[in-house]
């Protein structure tokens, strides 16, 4: 018998362990904010992540927003020969370059070797008055022929400019001609992806993005546009009627007064249709209890019945009819006695003739005494009337 009980206990314990390991969750609220409960397991929401393994091969996980963002590289081999992969971006190796902007001040990028080399100038402003910065980053006079090692020949054509100040704000003076500055534009074609030309400056569109870092915390970058991320919200209007938008995690959370499971309710409640309701036998107010019960500490208990004192009666109202009746009978008796003819000879009164007033007076006293006794009576717990007469 003991062995059978132990075997059954072991089987039940094993089933519980298997069940708890198979069903890691029941509701989304039991998972991380970037996960959802699916078939009893917490899995990453599409586009969200906890690590790079949750993203596609050309994406990585941004741990600040838990969103999968596009990766420019994952290895140095994904970059140019003068670049290396750093934080999923291709950046110039120290001393190497793809343009002058990759070099330090006083250097320019040699486009053949992709190496930063010393230069006399980077722009015309770096040269003395009357000279300009040529393509080799050397200061030369306007009539100098860059292809003539001996200094070249003179140019008979009149120069358009001697310095940038002779050109428009978005132009620079190059070889005596005013040309469009490298950071300026004349139309949208002069700008990069996601940019437009405004007042000769390239400006990025508000909606354009490269990855999630260009968007708000509740958004993700999709096809270079910032859109609301999955399971994310910007305001309560993005959530269900029973939810509110949490401004710390930017996710929809249960609104106060609503529930997703019994654990969201008080100990005397359970969750039913997203609302916490009282358990059977428990209560929030007297209205949750049956007739004759009151709600005490969220439990329905039988109400205590307080013994009520009988209302005091007006003794004069009780005795008045009796007194009036006695007075009427006494007056009638006296009238009848006066109307009797006078006897010629006094006759002896019959025995009992003087008893009538006495009997009537006794009846009145008896009535008054009974009324006084009824007035001071008390009702017993069984509902019967008990009389107590006060002693004078």
- Top-confidence range, 121-125, 251-255, 301-305, 353-357: 251-255
Could you tell me the two tokens for 45?
A: 């929401």
For residue 201, CA distances in Å to 170, 189, 339 come to 8, 12, 139
pLDDT score of 84 more than 80 = yes
Give the pLDDT mean for 77-103.
84
pLDDT score of 386 more than 60 = no
Give the pLDDT mean for 91-98.
84
At 234, the pLDDT band (50, 70, 90 cuts) reads very high
Say how many Å lie between the first and final Cα of the chain, rounded: 83
Residue-wise pLDDT tens digits, 256-314? 888 888 888 888 888 888 888 888 878 988 888 888 888 988 888 888 876 666 555 56
Q: Please check whether residue 230 is in contact with residue 46, taking contact to mean a CB–CB distance below 8 angstroms.
A: yes
Question: Domain residues of the chain, as ranges?
Answer: 262-302
At 51, the pLDDT band (50, 70, 90 cuts) reads confident
Identify the sign of the CA torsion 119, 123, 125, 130.
Answer: positive
What percent of the chain shows pLDDT beyond 70? 70
Backbone angles phi, psi at 351, to 5 degrees: -60, 125
Q: How many CB atoms are closer than 10 A to CB 295? A: 17
- What pLDDT shows up at residue 359? 59
Could you tell me the two tokens for 115?
A: 């190496």
DSSP string, 123-145: SGGGSPTT-EE-TTS-EE-TT--
Q: Please give the DSSP secondary-structure letter assigned to residue 329.
A: H
Give the pLDDT mean for 5-26.
60
Best CA proximity match to 319, nearest among 284, 366, 254, 360: 366
Could you tell me the two tokens for 87?
A: 């934080």
* Average pLDDT along the chain: 75
User: Tokens 């993700």 — which residue?
Assistant: 220
- What pLDDT shows up at residue 365? 56
pTM of the model: 0.30
DSSP helix, strand, coil percent of the chain (3-state; round to 5): 25, 25, 50
């Amino acid at each position: 018998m003991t062995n059978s009980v132990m075997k059954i206990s072991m089987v039940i314990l094993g089933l519980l362990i298997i069940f708890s390991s198979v069903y890691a969750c029941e509701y989304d609220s039991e998972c991380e904010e970037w996960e959802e409960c699916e078939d009893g397991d917490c899995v990453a929401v599409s586009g969200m992540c906890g690590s790079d393994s949750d993203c596609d091969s050309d994406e990585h996980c941004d741990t600040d927003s838990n969103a999968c963002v596009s990766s420019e590289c994952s290895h140095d081999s994904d970059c140019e020969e003068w670049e290396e992969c750093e934080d999923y971006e291709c950046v110039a190796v120290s001393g190497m370059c793809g343009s002058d902007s990759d070099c330090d001040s006083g250097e320019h990028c040699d486009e053949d070797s992709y190496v930063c080399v010393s230069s006399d100038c980077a722009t015309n402003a770096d040269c003395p008055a009357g000279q300009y910065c040529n393509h080799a980053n050397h200061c030369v006079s306007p009539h100098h022929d860059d292809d003539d090692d001996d200094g070249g020949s003179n140019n008979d054509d009149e120069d358009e400019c001697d310095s940038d100040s002779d050109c428009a704000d978005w132009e620079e003076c190059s070889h005596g001609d005013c040309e469009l500055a490298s950071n300026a534009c004349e139309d949208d074609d002069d700008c990069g992806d996601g940019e437009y030309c405004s007042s000769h400056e390239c400006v990025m569109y508000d909606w354009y993005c490269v990855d999630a870092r260009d968007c708000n915390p509740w958004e993700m970058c999709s096809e270079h546009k910032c859109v609301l991320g999955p399971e994310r919200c910007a305001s309560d209007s993005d959530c269900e009627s029973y939810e509110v938008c949490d401004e710390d995690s930017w996710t929809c959370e249960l609104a106060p007064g609503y529930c997703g499971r019994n654990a969201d309710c008080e100990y005397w409640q359970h969750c039913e249709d997203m609302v916490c309701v009282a358990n059977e036998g428990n209560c929030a107010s007297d209205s949750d209890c049956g007739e004759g019960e009151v709600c005490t500490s969220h439990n329905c208990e039988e109400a205590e019945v307080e013994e009520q004192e009988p209302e005091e009666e007006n003794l004069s109202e009780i005795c008045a009819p009796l007194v009036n009746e006695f007075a009427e009978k006494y007056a009638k008796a006296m009238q009848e006695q006066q109307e009797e003819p006078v006897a010629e000879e006094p006759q002896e009164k019959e025995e009992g003739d003087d008893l009538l007033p006495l009997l009537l007076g006794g009846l009145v006293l008896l009535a008054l005494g009974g009324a006084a006794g009824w007035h001071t009576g008390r009702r017993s717990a069984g509902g019967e009337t008990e009389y107590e007469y006060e002693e004078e």
